[in-house]
Amino acid sequence: MTQGKLSVANKAPGSGSEGQQQVNGEKESPAVPSAPPSYEEATSGEGLKAGAFPAAPSGSSSSYDSSFPTGDHELFTTFSWDDQKVRRVFIRKVYTILLIQLLATLAVVAIFTFCDPVKDYVQANPGWYWASYAVFFATYLTLACCPGSRRYFPWNLILLTIFTLSMAYLTGMLSSYYNTTSVLLCLGITALVCLSVTVFSFQTKFDFTSCQGVLFVLLMTLLFSGLILAILLPFQYVPWLHAVYAVLGAGVFTLFLAFDTQLLMGNRRHTLSPEEYIFGALNIYLDIIYIFTFFLQLFGTSRE
């Protein structure tokens, strides 16, 4: 009965016999939207041309991913390309800042090494060394522990400039106590080691960013070895201990250079955000400076 009433009520004017429709108990239904296409129809070429965008079947996410629609696949490829482009710009920015830092440090080291009046002045006034160390330590803690200070222009560049100049002074004063030839030799060794480690870090499949525990243990070993060395060195109990410490320090910071380099790449277990270009340049710069100072302690010859 309900179906008959609906048939009479929904009958369009000018249609056939009402009695025949009630006898048959049914009428020709008006056009209703067709059922959504099946997954196979929607993912076929005709379904895509018709504008069908299928929903993922329940429990079959893997098959849905393998049959990614053409338009969405192109969108996904565009997003991936954009991410790679941002990462390349980030790496270029980090190494540009790093190059400026290294050039400034090299200029200070050259002045302290080749200019005798400057060299004599900094050696006669060690107070400037400790003042520079305090500035270095304060700016490093600010940049490393306060994300806002290293992300907002121009404070990030101002702090990085102060940090670089203070570190350059420390490196230059340390170099002034060594023979000019040995300083140049250590600069060359440092450049070759850092270049080879950087190229290796970009090419290798080994993930140094997953070795944080090992690097932490090595860093603690280096720290406590330095404390023991500071106590024993004035008494000359173990003459070769300083050389062992220099070898250990150069090795540890070479591994840290590989670790910090892979943090920039974006395809490892741990990565840096593209906003952290100041932090990335800061870490690699420190690694290179520490490698140079340890090589200087290992291969350098003191001035007469």
- For residue 49, the model assigns a pLDDT of 41
pLDDT digits (tens, 9 = 90+) for 203-218: 888 888 888 888 889 8
Tokens in use for 74?
A: 């192109």
Q: Give 181 or 285, the one with higher predicted confidence.
A: 285
Q: Are 289 and 167 in contact (CB under 8 A)?
A: yes
- For residue 13, the model assigns a pLDDT of 45
Say how far apart CA 288 and CA 189 lie, in whole Å: 11
Among 60, 65, 67, smallest CA distance to 43 is for 67
pLDDT digits (tens, 9 = 90+) for 251-263: 899 999 999 888 8
Question: pTM score, two decimals?
Answer: 0.68
Q: Which residues of 16-39 are buried (b: 16+ CB within 10 A; e: fewer)?
A: eeeeebeeeeebeeeeeeeeebeb
Backbone angles phi, psi at 215, to 5 degrees: -65, -35
pLDDT digits (tens, 9 = 90+) for 221-239: 888 888 887 777 666 666 6
